[in-house]
Each structure stands twice: as structure tokens, then as C-alpha cells.
Structure 1
Amino acid sequence: MKAKSPTSIDAYVGSRVRARRKVLRLSQVGLAERIGVTFQQIQKYEKGTNRIGAGRLQSIAETLGVPVQFFFENDTEPTTYSLVSNGRDDVNAFLASKDAQALNRAFMAIESPAIRQKLVALAKSLARDTHPEIDDIIHPETGA
């Protein structure tokens, strides 16, 4: 019996692993050691060239402090991607970027909910210059 080839879903899950690992400032070696594989295997998972089995994905999720469903979350509303980015790959590329990591770490370091809300309001205000409908894009059900 021939092994199944990786799919676009495998690549997406791998990109989510990479993004979360980077947010946590965890190296591929560090993640590999914690789940009992080589760093080369982590590279293959993150690139989507190797599939991640269910047990291994559970172990990765526990190590990265997220539920398994985190790796499958996907906002498929076309307005979100057509207005905010060119697609899922752009979002994943951004989440894995140094800017996104720095922004996430800085935001997480802000303990005051009121200050966090002000920062979100500032970002929305700046985004309105390009996308006046930004509130509908971020929270289509409430506009908030």
C-alpha cells in the first residue's frame, strides 16, 4: 500500500504550526525535542511535505499551548481575504513574519484591556484610510 501524499490541508496545518511556534519564539529544534522528533521532521511538517499524524498533532498542540482545532481554523469569508489580503497564503506569511511576531508579543505584553482596546481602535483608524469598511471586515456580525 502506497503512503498518501500531503495535500493543501497538510501545508495549511504546517503553516499554522510554524506561525504558532514563531509567536512563542520556539525554535524548530526546541519543538522537535519536546515532541520527540528531529528538527528536520519539523521542517517537513511546516513546509507541508510530510503529513502530521493525529497523535503527533495532539502532541504539537499541547506543546504550543493551543487546541488541535487551532491548526484547522480558517476564515473563508471572501470579503476578508479580498479586502485584507490576497488569500490564506498571505495571511500565513504575515503571521510567520518578524513584524507579526513583534506585534503579537507587544500586544500580549499589554496587561490593561482598556489600552489593548485603544490599540485596536488605532489600528482600525489607520486601516480605514485604505479600507473604510474595516469594521465590517474584522467583525462582520457586529461591526465592532
Structure 2
Amino acid sequence: MDIAKDLALIDALCARDFPSEHERYHIAWLGPGDWPDVSDCYAYEAALVELFTQRWGAAERWGTVTLEERITRGEAIPEPWLSLTASAIDVRTWEVPDSIRRLTLAVADREDESRPRIWAAVTEADPP
């Protein structure tokens, strides 16, 4: 686990151009992906949250239940929020200073709780 490497990746994603005018986001998986213990994943997420909070202030924290309900009703939810809702229950979002971008961090633990992963997205789109 190399937190410095993941911080550098997030910095690069915050600065990088988006793939196209229709794909206005970057998604990355952080950490090793194969955690020795499930609790290690959540501890790593907590360390990342602490570092981003030191950098950019307190995150907005919200659950994806409302988005999930809107999807169920047939509402179109844009990416990366659609993918986030499918994989995570709880997220944190920071506004990137001097930018219109935001970083969203979550543990993707909705599908298989025995193998959670840390999901990060950089986008210009506010949560719907």
C-alpha cells in the first residue's frame, strides 16, 4: 500500500483533461485491491480522508440511497454518479481548490462486502 502513489494519482487526475465532452470524469481504484483484511481497506480510506481533509477542508458526506431510489423510478443519473451508486453506499466529496472539479471517494462494498475496494472519481459534475 503506497498512499503517496495514490495521492499523486489523484493530483494527476485533478489536473488531466477529460476524455471527451461527453465523458467529463476520471475514475480510479486506490490501494492494492486485494486487502489482507477487510478492515485494512477501511483504515486506508480513513487515512485518505484525513489527508484530503487536511488539504481541502471537510468533505461533504452523503449516502447513495436517494440516488438508488431515483434510478429505480427510471430517472437518468449521469456518470460517474451512476457507477458510484451501484458500488458504494457512503461517499465523501471535496471541491478541488482553484478548480470547478470535485473529488469523490468511497469504498465500493455494495456488491461483495468481502472484497471492498476504494473508488475515486474526479468530475466537474455536482452530485445529482
TM-score, normalized by the shorter chain, greater than 0.5 = no
Q: Greater relative contact order (Cα 8 A, min sep 6): structure 1 or 2?
A: 2
Which protein is richer in helix relative to its size?
Answer: 1
- TM-score (structure 2 length as normaliser): 0.28
Which protein is richer in strand relative to its size?
Answer: 2
The structure with the larger Rg is 1
